[in-house]
Amino acid sequence: MSLLRFLGLGDGKTQASRAGESETVRRIVSRLEELEPEKARYLASFAYVLMRVANADLTIDTSETDKMRHILTTLGGVSEQEAELVVEIAQNQAETAGGTENYIVTREFKKVSTKSQRAELLECLYAVAAADGTISGVESGEIMAIAEEFGFTRPEANSFRSSYRNKLSEFQTTRE
C-alpha cells in the first residue's frame, strides 16, 4: 500500500504527480483545509522539519512537542487545535516514514520559503532541540545537516548555534 493511500489522499497518481511535494506534506495540508494551500504547504513542511530534529535522537519529548505547538501558533498563525493536529501528524510521519522523507520534505521547504524564512526555521530548530534542557550531539548534527541542505554556510549555521551554546550537551558540565 502506498503511503499516499494510507494517508487517505487517494490513489497516489494525481497528487503524486505534483512536482516537489512529498506525501507527508500533502497529508498535513489536506487536514488544514481552511488555510490557503500555499500557507498550509509551508506550515506542513515547517512542522515536519521541526519534528525531524525532535526525532533525531529517536525520542520525542513532551517539552519538544509543546515547543513545536507554541511555534506553530505564534509564527504560523494557526489555532491551538490546528497546531496540535499538525504536530501529531508530523510526529506520526517522522516516526513511520523518517529517513528519505526527511530530505524530501526539507527540500520542499527550501523551495517554498525565502532565505529569511529558512533562517527563522533554523532558529526554531534550536529552540525545539533545547526544549528539554539539552541539545544532544545528534540533534545538533541534524540541525547542521538541515542548515547545509538549506544552503547555509558553516559559519552562517554556527551563528544560529551560538545562541544556544549553554544548551549544547558538549558544553554542559556533568554532575556526579
Q: Write the pLDDT tens digit of every residue in 13-61.
A: 444 434 446 777 776 666 667 777 788 788 889 999 999 999 998 889 8
Three-class SS state of 14: coil
- Measured between alpha carbons, how far apart are the two ends of the chain, in Å? 50
Residue 135 forms beta bridges with which residues? 168
| pLDDT tens per residue, range 135-149 | 888 999 999 999 999
- Give helix 115-130 / helix 62-74 axis angle, nearest 10°: 150
pTM of the model: 0.77
**17 vs 91, which has greater pLDDT?**
91
Q: Pull the grid cell for residue 112.
A: 517554498
Confidence of residue 174 (pLDDT cuts 50, 70, 90): low
- Neighbour tally for 91: CB within 10 Å: 20
pLDDT of residue 164: 76
CATH fold, domain 19-171, is: TerB-like (1.10.3680)
Concatenating the DSSP letter of every residue in 59-106 gives ---HHHHHHHHHHHHHTS---HHHHHHHHHHHHHHHHHT-HHHHHHHH
Average pLDDT over residues 87-93: 85
| Residues 48/93, Cβ–Cβ less than 8 Å | yes
Domain extents for the chain?
A: 19-171
Q: Show Cβ contacts of residue 139 under 8 Å, excluding neighbours closer than 6 positions.
A: 53, 56, 57, 129
**104 vs 33, which has greater pLDDT?**
104
In terms of DSSP H, where are the helices of the chain? 3-6, 23-31, 37-54, 62-74, 80-96, 99-112, 115-130, 137-149, 154-162
Long-range pairs for 167-175: beta carbons < 8 A, 24 or more residues apart: 167/126, 167/129, 167/130, 167/133, 167/134, 167/135, 168/134, 168/135, 168/140, 169/134, 169/135, 169/136, 169/137, 169/140, 170/137, 172/134
Average pLDDT over residues 162-171: 74
